[in-house]
Structure 1
Amino acid sequence: MEALLIILGAILVYSVITYLWQRRIVKALTEEEFRAGYRKAQLIDVREPDEFAGGHILGARNIPLTQLRMRMKELRKDQPIYLYCQNGLRSGRAAQMLYRKGYRNLYHLKGGFKKWTGKVKKNS
């Protein structure tokens, strides 16, 4: 029982540290803030291809989180990167990966695509 409490405590501490670090490296934007800047940035949807095909923000490129390590070189370090996923979790993880590789101008959509009310494109 004591070991379980230690493990749960460690998980909780790790989660809090990760959350605080993520808040420092990636700026969470409201839809209005996101909309104001994404046209001048690299707009990246980190969801899987089938999710992207089902609907995505107009102008977004699909680089799934599962492929990001291999495709990171497609992104420029000298331009802002606007990330989004379905609810904000994967885009936060993507920002962490990018930050470790020297990308600094990172933003993500608070609440993710499911909260987006703007223009959407669907692949038929």
Structure 2
Amino acid sequence: MAVKQLEPGEAKAAMDEAENSVYLDVRTEMEFAQGHPQGAINIPIAVPGPAGMVPNPDFLNVVQKTLPDKEQPIFCGCQSGMRSQMAADLMARFGYSNLANVQGGFGGKVENGVLVVVGWRDSNLPVETDVNDSNSYAGIKARAES
């Protein structure tokens, strides 16, 4: 099944309508801590490595243990919509069937120096900076490994 493509306002409206929906923020822990959609959980698709960002080897395992219902509405977001598309595509290959990529992500999508999709933050949608054991990657990963 194809991953739905939604702009932030459309994603927020769909999340409000869908029962048991989740915003999966696949940005780094540092990006997540600087601000994220209200109620989001953080499971990074990539993590810092010695020479830059590398794929998170634990991503799929943590996702499967944290979000075991493969029909649950999951809205994947990152900074602009690229990493979240990779995450959603990977999840779809492993049976997740109710996925949406949030185009423009949290910060907006820029092409050739021009903002082409306004992000969640600049769409005046609910944002928070709270990081705790229930939404942080550290807390989520610890529960997935226990």
| Alignment TM-score > 0.5, same fold | yes
Say which of 86, 93, 106 aligns to 2:99.
Answer: 106
Provide TM-score, normalisation by structure 1. Answer: 0.75
| Distance in 2 between residues matched to 1:31 and 1:70, nearest whole Å | 27
Q: Secondary structure at the residue paired with 1:77?
A: coil
Q: How far did residue 28 of structure 1 move?
A: 0.9
1:38 aligns with 2:29: no
| Maintained 8 Å contact 1:25/1:95 | no
Match of 2:37 in 1: 57
Q: Secondary structure at the residue paired with 2:90?
A: helix
Q: How far did residue 106 of structure 1 move?
A: 0.7
Structure 1, residues 86-122: CA drift from partner, whole Å, max 9, x if none? 0100000001110111011110111111111211101
Instruction: List alignment gaps of at least 5 residues for structure 1.
Output: 1-23
| Distance in 2 between residues matched to 1:42 and 1:60, nearest whole Å | 7
Match of 1:26 in 2: 3
Q: Secondary structure at the residue paired with 1:25?
A: coil
| Distance in 1 between residues matched to 2:128 and 2:28, nearest whole Å | 15
Q: Which amino acid counterpart does residue 77 of structure 1 have in structure 2?
A: K
Q: Secondary structure at the residue paired with 2:75?
A: strand
Provide TM-score, normalisation by structure 2. Answer: 0.64
Say which of 65, 68, 78 aligns to 2:59.
Answer: 68
Say which of 115, 128, 132 aligns to 1:121.
Answer: 128
Instruction: List alignment gaps of at least 5 residues for structure 2.
Output: 46-55, 108-118, 132-146
Structure possessing the higher radius of gyration over alpha carbons: 1
| Distance in 2 between residues matched to 1:25 and 1:71, nearest whole Å | 22
